[in-house]
Amino acid sequence: MGRKRMKKYYYVKKKFESTGTTSDTSANIYISMLMSEAWKELTAKQHELYLYCKAQYYAQKRNTLPKEFQENLLAFTMNQSKWRDLYGLYANKNSFYKDMTALIERGFVRCLQCGANTRTKTIYEFSDKWQKYGTPEFKIMPSEMTSAMLKKYKR
C-alpha cells in the first residue's frame, strides 16, 4: 500500500483583504491581543507601527538578517529606510523610537541587538510577554531593551 499524500491547504485571500498579488503579506491580529490591557494602552500610531512590524516580519527574507539571527524565526528589522521611506510612518526618528519603546515596554516586541552604538541594524523579535502585562510575572529584562531605554531606566 502506498502512503497517503496530505493535501496542503492555503488560505485564499478575500477580495476585501488584498489586491491578490502573490507577494502580498498579511499581519494577523487576534482578538485576545486586541482586548488585552497592554494593547489598550497603546496609541493608534503604536498600533500602526506594530502592524507594519508584523507585515515587515512576514515579508522579510531570513538571509537579510545578520548570520547569528537567521535561525531565529521571530526576528525582524525595522530601520529608518523602512519606517520613514517605505511605509511613511514617521518624519523623525524620535517618534519612531518612542513608539517602539512603548511596544517593548508592554511586551509585544523585544530588542535582540541594538545597532545604535555599532551603526548596524537593530534586530527585534516578537514577544508574548504582553499576555502577562499588569501581573507580577511581567518584567522587561535589560537584555531586551534598546540602549536608549537602558539610559532612561538607569536614571
Write the pLDDT tens digit of every residue in 39-54: 999 999 999 999 999 9
Q: Is the pLDDT of residue 74 over 80?
A: yes
Looking at the structure of the chain, the number of domains it has is: 1
- Whether 13 maps to a domain, the answer reads no
Q: Is the pLDDT of residue 155 over 90?
A: no
- Whether 4 maps to a domain, the answer reads no
Alpha-carbon span 107 to 29, nearest angstrom: 15
When pLDDT is averaged across residues 111-123 and rounded to a whole number, the result is: 84
- Whether 55 maps to a domain, the answer reads yes
- Whether 19 maps to a domain, the answer reads no
φ and ψ of 109, to 5 deg: -140, 155
Long-range Cβ contact pairs of 22-28 (< 8 A, separation 24 or more): 23/59, 25/55, 25/58, 25/59, 26/55, 26/58, 27/51, 27/52, 27/54, 27/55, 27/58, 28/54
Domain that holds residue 104: 31-154
- Whether 8 maps to a domain, the answer reads no
- Whether 133 maps to a domain, the answer reads yes
- The CA-to-CA distance between both ends of the chain, in Å, stands at 70
Whole-number pLDDT of residue 35: 97
Q: Considering only CA atoms, which of 21, 77, 15 is closest in space to residue 52? A: 77
Q: What is the pLDDT of residues 82-106, one digit of tens each?
A: 888 888 999 988 999 999 999 999 9
- Whether 10 maps to a domain, the answer reads no
Q: Which residues pair with 126 in a beta bridge?
A: 109
- Whether 148 maps to a domain, the answer reads yes
CB 100 within 8 A of CB 83: no
